[in-house]
Structure 1
Amino acid sequence: MQDKVKRVIALLLLIVPGFMATYGFLAMKDAFFAQFGADGTDQFLWGKFVLGLILFAIGVSFIGGWIFFRDRKRNYVAPRFKAKRK
């Protein structure tokens, strides 16, 4: 039973940053295309763009770090990325 709970928690740890990265990408897209709006507002939404960029960077870096750590633990990485031994 505990193994299933651990897997669900691990899945949630990957889903939340994935949603953050997705929302960040969509916010950046909306901020960029808002300047071409048909409603007459030709302004760039800097606040929304920066928030989206931060969320996207956090989400992608967390997932990338997770994958890198897992691959390093299983010896799937190139020799230059392996842990240094004394």
Structure 2
Amino acid sequence: MKAPFYRFIAILLLVIPGLMATYGFLAMKDALFAKIYSEQGHVLWGKFTLGFVLFAIGVAFIGGWTFFRDRKRNYVAPRFKGKRKKK
């Protein structure tokens, strides 16, 4: 009973940052297209900044999760492998 619940939580840990990154990208796109298609012709800097922050957090989380998972399974280049302790 515990395994499916833990897998569901793990999937949510990846879906939520993915949705954040998606919303951030769409907010940045909307802010830039507002400059092109509006009569005022200015960028919505608040929406663009919020979108950039959400996009950066989402991509950084998913990228970091992937990197550490690959590092644990030795899928990374030698320069990214963990430092070995000297005896």
Report the count of equivalent residues. 85
Q: What TM-score, normalized by structure 2, do the two folds share?
A: 0.94
Give the CA RMSD over aligned residues: 0.8
Shift, 1:43, TM fit = 1.2
Shift, 1:36, TM fit = 1.2
> What does residue 22 of structure 2 align with?
22
CA distance in 1, matches of 2:60, 2:78: 22
> What does residue 53 of structure 2 align with?
54
CA distance in 1, matches of 2:26, 2:18: 12
- Percent identity at matched positions? 69
Shift, 1:41, TM fit = 2.5
Code of the residue aligned with 1:16 in structure 2: it is: I
Q: What TM-score, normalized by structure 1, do the two folds share?
A: 0.95
Q: Which runs of 4+ in 1 moved over 2 A?
A: none
CA distance in 1, matches of 2:77, 2:43: 42
